[in-house]
Structure 1
């Protein structure tokens, strides 16, 4: 099946609500690697990589986010690069 890698920007009420923490927990549950970073404009950047099925599951989850967040929109960009092992937050 191969692996996929995406960089996702999430907009809405996504900072100060545990978004990165819950994103990391979900990514680890799915055995994905990457990062979740707060950006200065109030959005969150998530870079995820792993097996196609798990990545697609994570993309669906990111459209909603945790209960504490209010996701207004996401931008999904395919990436030719793959993050190193683990899942990190800033």
Structure 2
């Protein structure tokens, strides 16, 4: 089990990206959260099985149909989010 933080760049706000990410992460059984950032990116923290995290990353690279992804910065994170996957307020 590990925790990864993604910062997703592109047209990722106003296109249902957070809703999309919650659905994928929940289906994969991951814990964590996703939120918009004031700089126009989306930030996501996910904890779980490395194979499930790889699937989440692949889905995040595609994103929802209304948007596009220019890139994702990925880092390991020591934070252990609470159980479940949710959408959080913009920071």
Q: TM-score, normalised by structure 2?
A: 0.92
In structure 1, what is the equivalent of residue 48 of structure 2? Answer: 50
5+ long unaligned stretches in structure 1: none
Instruction: Spell out structure 1 runs of 4+ moving beyond 6 A.
Output: none
In structure 2, what is the equivalent of residue 80 of structure 1? Answer: 78
Matches within 5 A, 1:1-90: 3-90=1-88
How many residue pairs are counted as aligned between the two chains?
88
Residue 65 of structure 1: how far off its partner (Å): 1.1
Residue 63 of structure 1: how far off its partner (Å): 1.3
SS of the residue corresponding to residue 81 of structure 2 reads coil
Q: Deviations over 1:28-71 (max 9, x none)?
A: 00000100100000100000111111111111111111112110
Q: RMSD between aligned alpha carbons? A: 0.8
Distance 1:71 1:19 in 2: 10
Residue 15 of structure 1: how far off its partner (Å): 0.3
Distance 1:27 1:39 in 2: 19
Distance 2:17 2:80 in 1: 22
